[in-house]
């Protein structure tokens, strides 16, 4: 823990929390006004062709995929700012609120009983050491407790660091994440299960599709995905 984090904690003992996005003292790390400014109207979408649906179908009518994702909203405005503060400025406290908002959105489109286990998109151990946390794991703890679904951080592992991904052109990303993940499931516990994968932002989807590809090899039934935000750009 950095000295600055300690100091922040000390200050918060004497001053009530202020909204980390608008800066107003409202006893909330993300205030209701800011939350109300999040456009959460984004619909479930196919992880392969990006077609949107009013409800999650069995099969995508466009590409026959059965893997659908849903995000809390689009990567813009308040949501973008909150995600950046959470992820890059290590305001871990925002994870609780973002996890709650994600749970709320999850419950609109999913039945908790239709998911057997929640897994995070893992980050590489070296990255984990540098950043100190995987934002997806923080969100999962909230989602799991709000929706009473089991989770595990062990099945899916990242075996190759691919963090130059953001700097890569879209058409190179798929190739870059190839074989970046591995499944540790000696007892075949994932076989026949419905998985919910959690990640922070869906951009091109290459990372999530690679996770789905590796998971599919273990005989899972279906893989669904949930993100904090989805980037606006859908044609690449």
Site of interaction with Zn ion (CB under 5 A): 19, 21-22, 31, 34, 46, 48-49, 51, 60, 62-63, 65
Q: Whose Cβ is closer to Zn ion: residue 29's or residue 181's?
A: 29
Specify the length of the chain in residues: 236
* In the complex, minimum distance from the CB of residue 82 to Zn ion, in angstroms, rounded to a whole number: 9
Query: Which residues are bridge partners to 46 per DSSP?
Result: 68
Q: Whose Cβ is closer to Zn ion: residue 96's or residue 157's?
A: 96
Taking alpha carbons only, the member of 184, 172, 173 closest to residue 215 is 184
* In the complex, minimum distance from the CB of residue 134 to Zn ion, in angstroms, rounded to a whole number: 26
* In the complex, minimum distance from the CB of residue 124 to Zn ion, in angstroms, rounded to a whole number: 29
Q: Whose Cβ is closer to Zn ion: residue 158's or residue 222's?
A: 222
Residue with tokens 């540790």: 184
Q: Whose Cβ is closer to Zn ion: residue 49's or residue 117's?
A: 49
* In the complex, minimum distance from the CB of residue 59 to Zn ion, in angstroms, rounded to a whole number: 9
Residue with tokens 């870059």: 176
CA distances from 233 to 2, 170, 203, 229, 236 (A): 36, 11, 7, 12, 7
DSSP 8-state class, residue 18: B
Query: Which residues are bridge partners to 120 per DSSP?
Result: 198
């Amino acid at each position: 823990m950095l000295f600055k984090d300690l100091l922040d904690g000390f200050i918060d003992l004497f001053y009530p929390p202020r909204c980390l996005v608008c800066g107003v003292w409202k006893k909330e790390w993300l205030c209701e006004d800011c939350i109300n400014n999040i456009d959460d109207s984004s619909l479930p979408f196919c992880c392969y062709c990006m077609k949107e649906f009013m409800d999650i179908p069995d099969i995508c009518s466009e590409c026959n995929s059965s893997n659908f994702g849903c995000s809390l909203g689009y990567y813009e405005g308040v949501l973008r700012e909150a995600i950046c503060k959470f992820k890059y400025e290590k305001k871990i406290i925002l994870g609780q609120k973002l996890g709650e908002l994600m749970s709320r959105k999850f419950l609109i489109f999913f039945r908790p009983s239709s998911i057997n286990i929640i897994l995070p998109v893992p980050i590489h151990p070296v990255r984990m050491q540098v950043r100190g946390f995987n934002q997806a794991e923080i969100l999962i703890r909230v989602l799991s407790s709000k929706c009473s679904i089991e989770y595990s951080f062990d099945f899916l592992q990242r075996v190759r660091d691919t963090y130059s991904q953001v700097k890569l052109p879209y058409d190179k990303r798929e190739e870059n994440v190839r074989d970046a993940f591995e499944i540790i499931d000696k007892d075949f516990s994932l076989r026949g299960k419905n998985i919910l994968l959690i990640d922070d932002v869906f951009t091109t989807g290459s990372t999530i599709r690679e996770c789905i590809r590796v998971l599919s090899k273990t005989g899972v039934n279906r893989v669904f995905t949930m993100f904090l935000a989805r980037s606006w750009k859908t044609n690449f």
